[in-house]
Amino acid sequence: MSIRVLHTIAELRAALAGQPVVGFVPTMGNLHQGHLDLVRIARPRSSVVVASIFVNRLQFGPNEDFDRYPRTMEADVAVLSSAGCDLVFAPDERELYPQPQGYKVHPPAELADILEGHFRPGFFVGVATVVHKLFNIVQPHLAVFGQKDYQQLMIIRNMVQQMALPIEIIAGPTTRAEDGLALSSRNGYLSAQERAEAPQLHALLQRMGQRVREEGVQAIPAIEAEAMTALAARGWKPDYLTIRRRTDLQAPTDPQEPLVALAAAKLGTTRLIDNLEI
């Protein structure tokens, strides 16, 4: 069937009635190849694939880019159709938040107030609240999230588990440009010179991972400090370059536990994030 764009909860629920396996890809629009790869993961597992497009005010801080976040609905619908999406749920704020959202989902501080949550206070409350609400609206059997947003993926997985939601959460591998830069809607803000520099973030994560494998977990503090210095020397403003346990994003102590390197840094006025499992 051709792709349909629905703007109300009632329309969406009517369209999904009787579908045996609903696959869901939540987005904020301004889509790139990484989003389409998530749709392609959902497609063979689902009888119907829904993508939502909603720029969620709750997850933007007071000095962040909510108003200038690109709204590209027509182009988004076209590329979603080519990727095999069936339904686009594109509510306005009045539909999703008819009253101020007083009830919110607060993830545990030990996971939500570190890394991204430290530098963007309240971000994961906004994310968890809108995702939980969208899950209630769509009632998917499976939902696909990108691994580029590593901490967000972990928080959503844990929320689904603790709330006993009957949803399979599937991680989509990070989609990268040929030079290694993780695809992101925010890459469009980069100047040509910044775009040429941006792959250095991924390259630095690779070097950090190599050093941990060679030098062991006891060297992590030095590796992190040197990485921060190296990135700053290239003109970036790093928020964090760190190596954590994959299980809970805390500092590792056991050399055998699976690790992940995570980074967030500003290049010019654009904040980029990336990660690499070690």
35 assigned to active site: yes
Catalytic residue among 7, 35, 118, 132: 35
Provide the strand spans (E) within 86-236: 87-89, 142-146, 168-172
Q: What is the C-alpha separation between 159 and 165, in angstroms, rounded?
A: 8
Question: 3: burial class by Cβ within 10 Å (0-12, 13-18, 19+)?
Answer: middle
Asked if 130 and 55 touch (Cβ cutoff 8 Å), the reply is no
Q: What is the C-alpha separation between 268 and 219, in angstroms, rounded?
A: 30
Residue 127, CA atoms < 13 Å, CB-side half-sphere: 22
- CA distances to 28, 37, 84 from 142, in Å: 18, 15, 16
User: Which token pair is 275?
Assistant: 């990660």
Asked if 114 and 89 touch (Cβ cutoff 8 Å), the reply is no
Task: Give 71's contacts (C-beta < 8 A, 6+ positions apart).
Answer: 29, 30, 55
Residue 181 has what DSSP assignment? P
Catalytic residues: 35
